Amino acid sequence: MGNFLKDRKSKFDLLKALRLQKKETYMQREVPSRLFSQCSGCNRTFPLKEKEDNQYICPYCGGYFPMPAEQRAKSILESGYEKIIFEDKTRNPLVFDGYEEKQETMRQKTALDEGVLCFRGKIGDSPTVLCVMDSRFFMGSMGSEVGERITFAFELATEEKCPVVVFCASGGARMQEGMYSLMQMAKTSAAAKRHSDSGQLFISCLTHPTTGGVTASFASLGDIILSEPKALIGFAGPRVIAQTMGKKLPDEFQKAEFLLEKGFVDHIVERKDMKQTLSFLLKLHRKEELV
């Protein structure tokens, strides 16, 4: 009996050692970001090119990385699209200390001039104005320049009688611009309303994270609202809400799947299927297709 228990204990010890060894293999490590990427979900490391070739999706666990605006546009639009060039402006309406220097640092670090890029092109056969927010630039926060660009995109689409597709990714209003930033909520919402009144389609695509003033304005005004899986979508963060209410929130609170269940999102679309889904929806709503 003693030998049996001793043998059983040694097997359990071996199993425990193997489990610890496996965990140690995938511990989070410092990796050179120009060569490799590490998934925050499974902690596995793989070449950066592999991530780029796989639409910024982890090849092991399927977790999503934030997708740069240029790559997003390239994956959605047909070849021959046009990037809309805006006048290079450094806005600092409140003369916020260090803000201009921070903007310049972000430009050099990300090769972006602002937190949103706008394009004119085709998705499938449908002429479309596309806006893509990029969370690498001030967490995609909406300042006066971001608001101006999104407003311009809606006005251009209204003039050209074509749909608007916006990929949202934002931490909310840009705090360095104070009230000027909050004013963009009304400005972009009004532009979206005029576009809607002209009879054109607006599809809002929510990606991780979409929060704050962007969620509370144009991002929630789409005729059709799509989302990537497991995206965080909300106004205030879950921690703030839990502290205010004094209650424990559901585990999936503010996740795309939770919002789909509650009716705030129309459909959750895998990144690899997004272009095909958008192409189908745009074609379905083209007036000439109904004749």
- Residues forming the annotated binding site for Zn(2+)? 39, 42, 58, 61
Contact assessment for residue 146 and residue 184, using Cβ atoms and an 8 Å cutoff = yes
Annotated binding site: 39, 42, 58, 61
Q: Is 249 helix (H, G, I), strand (E, B) or coil?
A: coil
d(CA 274, CA 228): 9
Cα separations (Å) of 269 from 23, 80, 108, 165, 207? 32, 25, 33, 14, 10
User: Looking at beta carbons, which pairs linking 233-239 to residues 24 or more positions away fall under 8 Å?
Assistant: 233/206, 233/209, 233/259, 233/264, 233/265, 235/211, 236/211, 236/212, 237/211
Q: Which residues pair with 210 in a beta bridge?
A: 170, 233
Tokens of 190: 């009004």
d(CA 40, CA 201): 36
d(CA 256, CA 234): 10
